[in-house]
Structure 1
Amino acid sequence: MTSAAEQEAVPDHAPERAGPPVWPGAPTPLGARCRVGPDGVAGTNFALWAGGAEAVELCLFDPDGTELRLPLTELTHEIWHGFVPGIGAGQRYGYRVHGRWDPWTGARWNPAKLLLDPYARAVDGDFGDSGLPPEVYGHVRDWPQQHVADTVRDERDSAPYVPKGVVVQDDDDWSDDRRPKTPWQDSVIYELHVKGFTRLHPDIPEHLRGTYAGLAHPAAVEHLVRLGVTAVELLPVHQFAHEDHLLRRGLRNHWGYNSIGYFAPHAGYSSSGTTGQQVGEFKRMVRALHAAGIEVILDVVYNHTAEAGELGPTLSLKGIDNRGYYRLQSDARRYADYTGCGNTLHVVQPQVLRLITDSLRYWVTEMGVDGFRFDLAAALARSMHDVDMLSPFLAVIAQDPVLRRVKLIAEPWDVGNGGYQVGAFPPLWTEWNDRYRDAVRDFWRGALPDVRDLGYRLSGSSDLYAWGGRRPYASVNFVTAHDGFTLRDLVTYERKHNEANGEGNRDGTHDNRSWNCGVEGETDDPGINALRLRQQRNLLTTLLLSTGVPMLVAGDEMGRTQGGNNNAYCQDNAIGWLDWTLPDAPGRAQLLALTRRLLALRHDHPVLRRRAFFSGRPQGADGLRDLAWFTAEGAEMTEPDWYAPTATLGLYLSGRDIPGRDERGEQITDDSFLAVLHAGSRPLDFRLPGPPWAETYELVVDTGRDDQSAPPGTEHPGGGTITVAARSVVLLRVRA
C-alpha cells in the first residue's frame, strides 16, 4: 500500500454553491439523456456503470469553468444514476469516482481526476499543444523514484486540463434519409481521412476544409461520384486524444487511432461548434453522401483506448473501474497488451461488451452509418487469452438484429501470440486480405518465385474464404492502405523515410515489398518517371480486375505522395493531406482517367464482381470453363506451369451463366474477358486463345500506353499474337 507520506498533497476542492436537486432517475440508458421527469419537469438523466466504485459525483461545468459536484446516491446493478431537473442540451459534465487506490491489485480510483463519460455523445475541449500536464495522470508522474511512479496517487485536480462531455438533445428519426444498401459484391471502398481529404481542396470554402461539412460539400462528393466508388471508409472519427510524446515534439495524432469517446464524433472535425453541434454536422455529412449513393463505413478502434498502460493518463475508463474495463496481467499493476498501444479492452467482461455494442448500434441507428472496419479485430475476438472465433464479441454481433445487417470488416490480426487470423473470421465478416497485398506487390516488383499464390488472390482467395458459406467478397483486396506507402511511394521508395516523425526512423514497417524503379526517391529522369506511372497503372488495374471487394486509398488515383513516410500517423500537415493539384502534373490526369474507366467497367460487368467462387469446371459442350489460365503461348496452364518461374499470367473470365439471377429472376450473363499480366522487363508476344474461347478480341485496357483517356478499341483475332509492353496489363473483351 502507498504510505501517507507518499500520498501527501493538497486536494483541490471545487467551490461550493447551491445546486439543483438530484432525483433517483433511471439506470438505463447509460450516458446523459434529456427527458421529461416526474410531474412533467424537463431535465437530464445521468447513468454510469462503475462496478467497484464506493461513490460517484456528477460534475457540472458553467461556461466559465465553475464546477458543481452532485453526488449520485442511487445504485442499481452497479450503475450509478440520477435525474437532474433543469439540465438540458449543451451542458458540459464529467464524473469523479471514489474508491481504493491499490495499483498492485489493479485498483486505480482517484476522485481528483475528472473522468469523461464513456457514453458522452459530444466532447468539448482538448489537452493543449505542449503535452499532457501532470495533473491528468492518476499517479504522480513527476515522482523522483521512477520505479514507483505509477503507485503514488496524485491528488491534483485534473478538471481544468481535460475535455468534458456534453449533453446532447437530438430527436432525428432519419425519415428523410435513403441508405444506398449496396450489395457486398458490388462494393468499392475508398479509404479517406475526413480532414486530410478536404483540407487543401480549392473548391471548398476555407472555413469548411478539414471538417465533416467539408466532406459533405458538393465539390468533395462530386469527386467520389465521378470516381465511381460506392462507400467511403473513414479513418477514426470517434473522439480521440493526442499522445503526450507527440505533443512534446510539436506533432499531433492525425489518424485518430487513440480513441477516448466511442459515442462522440471527433470535435476537431466540426466547423459548427463543439458543444453538441458536431453531432448534427456529422449527420448532415452522412445524408449528403447517402444522397449521392455512397455508403459510410467507420474505422473503429475498440481494442484499446488513449489511456495507454500503467504510466498513461487517467481520462475515463481507467478511473471508472480499471479492472472492469482493461485486461490486466497476473501482476495486476501491469496491463495485458495485445495492441501495441499499452492496453487492451477486456471484451469478455459484460460491461465492456455492452459499451462496444451500444456504441455500434448508436452509430447505425442514430448517426446513420452503414458499416464498420474493426482495427486489430483479433484482439476483440480473444476470450481469456487466445483468439476464439466463438468469443462473446463475435457471438453477440452474429445475433444482434441491427449489427448483423451492416457491413462488417475485420483487420484480422493483432500483435499478440496467435493474433494473425486471416481467413478465420466467421460468416457475416469480410477481412482485409494482406496476402492479396503482398502477392500483387511481389509480382509487380519481380519477387514472386511462381504464380501459384497470385492465381488465388486474383480469383477471390478461395483457399482462404471458400468455407462456411463465405463468398469472394469476404476478401477486401488492397494494395495500399493508410498504414504504409502510398501507391506512388510504393514505386518510388524501397526504404521508409519517417524522419519527420521524430523517432529516428525506427517507427513503421521495414517490410514494404516496394521497388523504386532504379532510383530512391523523386527524380527528373523521364524514363524512370514513365515506368513509375506505368507501375501505378499496373497495380490499380490489377486491383480493380480482381475478384473480391477492392479498396482504394484517397489520392492514389492521382499519384499522392507522403515523401516516403510509411507511418504518417502524426503528420497533420501537407504530408498527411491530399494535394488536389496532382491531376495537373504530367501523367496524373491519365491515372485518374484510367481509375474512373476501370471502376465504370467493373460496375457494368458482373463477371468482374462475382458473388460466388469460380468452379473451374466446363460449363457446356464446348468445354469452356468459368475461369481458365493461359501461358504466353496461348495454352492452358498445366500443374507444372504453376510451379515454374514466370513473369506472365493470362486470366480468362467467362461471362456465361454467372452464378445468381437478376431482379427478374433471369440468369445473369455477361461478356467474357481475357486479362494478361506481364511483369517482365521486356515486351512479350502473347498468343490469344482461339475458338472456342474467342473468335475476336477487343482491346479495352493497355497500361503500357501513356494516354489513358479512352480505351484503345482495337480488335485482334483469336489464335493471333499481340505484343504486350514490358511491365504492363492488357485487358481484352471477347467479341460475340
Structure 2
Amino acid sequence: LNTVQLLPVFDNASVEEAKERQRGPVKADLRALPSDSPQQQRLIALTVANSPYNWGYDPWHYQAVEGSYCSSLASAEGSGRVHEFRAMIGALHALGLRVVLDQVFNHTASYGQNTKSVLDRIVPGYYHRLSPLGFTEQSTCCPNVATEHAMAQKLMVDSVLLWAREYKVDGFRFDLMGHHSRDNMLAVRAALDALTPEHDGVDGRAVTMYGEGWNFGEVADDARFVQARQGNLAGTGIGTFNDRLRDAVRGGGPFDHDPRAQGFGTGLFTASNEAAVNGDGYHQRDRLLRDTDLIQLGLTGNLRDYWLPSNARRLFVRGDELEYNGGPAGYAAEPDEVINYVDAHDNETLFDALTLKLPIETPMADRVRMNTLCLALATLGQGPVMWHAGTDILRSKSLDRNSYNSGDWFNFLDWTMTDNGFGAGLPPEDDNGPKWDFFRPFLAELALKPTPDDLAEAHAQALDLLRLRASTRLFRLASGHAVRTKVTFPVSDTAHQVPGVIVMRIDDRLGDPAQDEWANLIAVFNATPLPVRLPVPGLDGRHLLHPVQANGHDSVVKGTRVQGEWVRVPARTFAVLVRPW
C-alpha cells in the first residue's frame, strides 16, 4: 500500500465552508432509530443545503483548494488553505505515501449566468459542450465541459501542472475520462513529462495518470472525437478502471434492478441465494464459467493479446475475443494500463455487496473470508490495484449505492474498528428508493452486522494479503511480454476445472527472471463453501505454502495440503504455494 487517492479537493460549489453555517442532523437522534428505518435519510435530506460534507464533485474553481477541509474558516481565508493543504501532502509523503488527486474536468457545477457559473460567464457557449439544437449537454450529470476545445484543454493542462508543481502531488485520477479526448490526455501527459526536478521541483514523468474510461453519452463510440476510453489508450501508459473483473467477482452490474445477482466471489452456482435474477442451475453454471474467464483475464492485467484457455468457449481465445457487455473484454497493451478493483466510492461497498448476494444464512466468519478472497482476486493480479478506504474493515454504507450527498452518516468510516456502519437506516430514497423492498430484510437482520472482533479479523487477513503482494515481483510483472511468458492457468478448460475455483501459475523460469527467491508460484482461489482437491500440472513436493500465509494470521489457510501434484485448499480460501529455485 503506497498511495492515497483523495476525492476532489478543489474548491467545490456545494459544501458550506463556514462551520457556523453548517447544518446536520443530531447524530444521537439518528442512532436512536431502527436499523431499517427511512427516518435517518429524511432527517439528512432536511439539512443537505448546508451540509458539512459531500464527495465534492461540483467543480467551481479548479485551481483553488476546497476550504471546508480546513481546520477553521479563518484558516481557509487567503493563503491559509494553501498552507494547510501543503502540510497535509507533506505529512502523507513523510508516511511513505504517494498522493493522487481526483480531477473533474468533464463537468461544472453550473452554467449560463448563474452565480456559481464561471466558464460560461467568461465566454458564453464556448466552454460547455452543446447539442445539435444548441442546448448544454448534461450526460455526465451536470453541464458537460467541451474539453475538445483548445482553451478548455488548456484549463485541464494548466490546472494539472499547478497541482503537480505547487503542491507536489504524485498522480491524477480523471473522473469520467471517457468524456475527454485521447488528445486531451496525451496533452496532459506531455505537459507533465516536461516537468523536471531542476526547473519545477518535480519529475513529471513519475506522475501517475488514470481514470474512468466509461463509454456513454453524446460522445459515445468516438462520435465527436477519439475518446480517452477503454480500448483507445493502449500504449499510452494511462490507466483505466477494470469493470470486467469487478463485475465478475461481485456479480451483476451497478445498475441492476435486483441487487442480488451473484458472481464468482459471491456464491454464484456454488452457494445460490435462490433469487430469481440468478436463473436456474444451468444458467448459473454458464455465467460462472464466463465470470471465471473474465477474472483470469483480469489477473493478467486485462491484456488484449493474452491467449487464455476459456472455460466458457472451450478453446484458447485472445483477451480481446472474450466478450463483455457487447464489446471486447481485453483491451490493455501493458498491465499498468488497467486498475483492478472490486469496490470504490461509487456503488455498494464490497461488504454491502456480499450482504445482498450471499445466502442470508452465511455465517459472519465466512463473510469475512469472502471479503478477503474478493480482494485477493484483484490484489494478486498484474498491474495496479485500488482498495476502497475501509474495505479491509468491512466498511458498509448501509447498502447505499450512491452516497455522494448522503453526508457523513452513511459515509461513516470508523478507524477504531468498532462499527462498520451497517444498519444506519434505509439509504437515501433518491438513488435507492426502488430497492428499499430488497434492503429492508437485510437491514433488519442484526446478525448481519459484524462485531469489533469481526472487523479485527478482516483487517488482519487483509494485511496478510498486502504482505503477499509486496513479497514478490511475480505479482507485479513489469510488461505485457513478461505476463504472457510467465502467467498461465493450467487447470482452466480441463477435466479438472472446478466451478468456483481458479488456479494461476506464475513461472519465473520462463523468460528473464523477475526475482531470485521463487522459481514459480501457484495461487489457488477457492470461492466455494467446500474444500477442494485437484491436480495442478507442475505442482510437486517442493511447493510450500507461502511464508506470509504459513506464518500469518489466518489459521484456516494453514490447512492447505500438497501431495505430489495434488493440492487441497480449504473452503472460501486462497492459497499461494511457492517453489524455491
Q: Same fold (TM over 0.5)?
A: yes
Where does residue 291 of structure 1 map in the other structure? 94
**2:400 counterpart SS class:** coil
Using the TM superposition, give the Cα deviation of residue 260 of structure 1 relative to its aligned residue in structure 2, in angstroms.
0.5
Note the residue ranges of structure 1 that are not aligned, 5 or more in a row: 1-228, 382-388, 494-514, 520-524, 618-624, 632-636, 662-666
Alignment match of 1:398 (pick from 182, 190, 194): 190
Larger helix fraction of residues: 2
2 CA distance for matches of 1:301 and 1:337?
14
**1:428 counterpart SS class:** coil
Using the TM superposition, give the Cα deviation of residue 684 of structure 1 relative to its aligned residue in structure 2, in angstroms.
1.9
Q: Give runs of ≥4 in structure 1 deviating > 6 Å.
A: 243-248, 464-469
1:350 equivalent in alignment to 2:203: no
2 CA distance for matches of 1:456 and 1:518?
27
Q: How does 1:343-422 map to 2 (within 5 A)?
A: 343-381=143-181, 389=182, 391-398=183-190, 400=192, 401-402=194-195, 405-413=206-214, 415-417=216-218, 419=220, 421-422=229-230
Deviations 1:206-260 (A, max 9, x none): xxxxxxxxxxxxxxxxxxxxxxx10100011011122899997422461111111
2 CA distance for matches of 1:262 and 1:464?
39
2 CA distance for matches of 1:268 and 1:646?
50
For 1:443, the aligned partner's letter is F
In 2, are the aligned partners of 1:338 and 1:414 still within 8 Å (CA)? Answer: no
Q: How does 1:48-87 map to 2 (within 5 A)?
A: none
Where does residue 575 of structure 1 map in the other structure? 410
1:651 equivalent in alignment to 2:504: yes
2 CA distance for matches of 1:461 and 1:616?
10
For 1:562, the aligned partner's letter is K
Where does residue 263 of structure 1 map in the other structure? 63
Using the TM superposition, give the Cα deviation of residue 422 of structure 1 relative to its aligned residue in structure 2, in angstroms.
1.7
In 2, are the aligned partners of 1:518 and 1:528 still within 8 Å (CA)? Answer: no
Name the CA shift for 1:660/1:347 in 2 (closer, same or farther; >3 Å).
farther
Q: How does 1:605-624 map to 2 (within 5 A)?
A: 605-613=472-480
Name the CA shift for 1:602/1:726 in 2 (closer, same or farther; >3 Å).
closer
Using the TM superposition, give the Cα deviation of residue 615 of structure 1 relative to its aligned residue in structure 2, in angstroms.
5.9
Where does residue 241 of structure 1 map in the other structure? 13
Alignment match of 1:551 (pick from 386, 389, 412): 386
Name the CA shift for 1:528/1:464 in 2 (closer, same or farther; >3 Å).
farther
2 CA distance for matches of 1:653 and 1:370?
30
1 CA distance for matches of 2:499 and 2:536?
18
1 CA distance for matches of 2:215 and 2:382?
26
For 2:568, the aligned partner's letter is T
Where does residue 579 of structure 2 map in the other structure? 734
**1:256 counterpart SS class:** coil
Name the CA shift for 1:671/1:544 in 2 (closer, same or farther; >3 Å).
farther
1:434 equivalent in alignment to 2:234: no
Alignment match of 2:288 (pick from 442, 448, 451): 448
In 2, are the aligned partners of 1:477 and 1:550 still within 8 Å (CA)? Answer: yes
- TM-score, with structure 2 as normaliser: 0.69
In 1, are the aligned partners of 2:467 and 2:548 still within 8 Å (CA)? Answer: no
**2:68 counterpart SS class:** helix
In 2, are the aligned partners of 1:376 and 1:413 still within 8 Å (CA)? Answer: yes
Deviations 1:264-313 (A, max 9, x none): 111000115111211011101111111222110001101111105x6965
Where does residue 630 of structure 1 map in the other structure? 490
For 1:397, the aligned partner's letter is R
Using the TM superposition, give the Cα deviation of residue 735 of structure 1 relative to its aligned residue in structure 2, in angstroms.
4.4
Name the CA shift for 1:428/1:330 in 2 (closer, same or farther; >3 Å).
same
2 CA distance for matches of 1:444 and 1:729?
12
2 CA distance for matches of 1:248 and 1:318?
30
2 CA distance for matches of 1:246 and 1:305?
28
In 1, are the aligned partners of 2:15 and 2:54 still within 8 Å (CA)? Answer: no
In 1, are the aligned partners of 2:230 and 2:240 still within 8 Å (CA)? Answer: yes
In 1, are the aligned partners of 2:561 and 2:569 still within 8 Å (CA)? Answer: no
Deviations 1:98-156 (A, max 9, x none): xxxxxxxxxxxxxxxxxxxxxxxxxxxxxxxxxxxxxxxxxxxxxxxxxxxxxxxxxxx
In 2, are the aligned partners of 1:610 and 1:658 still within 8 Å (CA)? Answer: no
**2:524 counterpart SS class:** strand
Using the TM superposition, give the Cα deviation of residue 564 of structure 1 relative to its aligned residue in structure 2, in angstroms.
0.5
Alignment match of 1:479 (pick from 342, 353, 360): 342
Higher relative contact order (CA 8 A, sep 6+): 2
1 CA distance for matches of 2:524 and 2:355?
24
**1:574 counterpart SS class:** helix
Where does residue 47 of structure 2 map in the other structure? 250
Where does residue 327 of structure 1 map in the other structure? 129
2 CA distance for matches of 1:568 and 1:679?
29
For 2:337, the aligned partner's letter is A
In 1, are the aligned partners of 2:394 and 2:455 still within 8 Å (CA)? Answer: yes
In 1, are the aligned partners of 2:101 and 2:169 still within 8 Å (CA)? Answer: yes
**2:301 counterpart SS class:** coil
1:683 equivalent in alignment to 2:531: yes
Where does residue 585 of structure 1 map in the other structure? 452
2 CA distance for matches of 1:556 and 1:628?
29
Name the CA shift for 1:246/1:595 in 2 (closer, same or farther; >3 Å).
same
**1:676 counterpart SS class:** strand
1 CA distance for matches of 2:172 and 2:163?
10
Where does residue 255 of structure 2 map in the other structure? none
Using the TM superposition, give the Cα deviation of residue 438 of structure 1 relative to its aligned residue in structure 2, in angstroms.
1.3
Using the TM superposition, give the Cα deviation of residue 376 of structure 1 relative to its aligned residue in structure 2, in angstroms.
0.5
**2:108 counterpart SS class:** coil
In 2, are the aligned partners of 1:702 and 1:728 still within 8 Å (CA)? Answer: no
In 2, are the aligned partners of 1:658 and 1:670 still within 8 Å (CA)? Answer: no
Where does residue 594 of structure 1 map in the other structure? 461
Name the CA shift for 1:518/1:731 in 2 (closer, same or farther; >3 Å).
same
In 2, are the aligned partners of 1:697 and 1:716 still within 8 Å (CA)? Answer: no
**1:652 counterpart SS class:** strand
Name the CA shift for 1:316/1:246 in 2 (closer, same or farther; >3 Å).
farther
Larger strand fraction of residues: 1
Using the TM superposition, give the Cα deviation of residue 540 of structure 1 relative to its aligned residue in structure 2, in angstroms.
1.6
Deviations 1:567-616 (A, max 9, x none): 11112223112112326712221211122222122222000111123668
2 CA distance for matches of 1:321 and 1:563?
44
2 CA distance for matches of 1:610 and 1:536?
25
For 1:329, the aligned partner's letter is S
In 1, are the aligned partners of 2:302 and 2:331 still within 8 Å (CA)? Answer: no
Deviations 1:42-85 (A, max 9, x none): xxxxxxxxxxxxxxxxxxxxxxxxxxxxxxxxxxxxxxxxxxxx
Using the TM superposition, give the Cα deviation of residue 554 of structure 1 relative to its aligned residue in structure 2, in angstroms.
0.7
**1:549 counterpart SS class:** coil
Q: Percent identity?
A: 28
Name the CA shift for 1:311/1:320 in 2 (closer, same or farther; >3 Å).
closer
1:423 equivalent in alignment to 2:271: no
Deviates more, 1:257-266 or 1:270-279: 270-279
Deviations 1:332-352 (A, max 9, x none): 3x20224122x1112122222
Using the TM superposition, give the Cα deviation of residue 437 of structure 1 relative to its aligned residue in structure 2, in angstroms.
0.8
Q: CA RMSD in A?
A: 3.4
- TM-score, with structure 1 as normaliser: 0.55
Where does residue 108 of structure 2 map in the other structure? 305
**1:580 counterpart SS class:** coil
1 CA distance for matches of 2:471 and 2:88?
28
Name the CA shift for 1:473/1:652 in 2 (closer, same or farther; >3 Å).
same
Using the TM superposition, give the Cα deviation of residue 397 of structure 1 relative to its aligned residue in structure 2, in angstroms.
3.1
2 CA distance for matches of 1:285 and 1:671?
42
Asked which structure has the greater CA Rg, the reply is 1
For 2:288, the aligned partner's letter is L
Aligned residues: 446
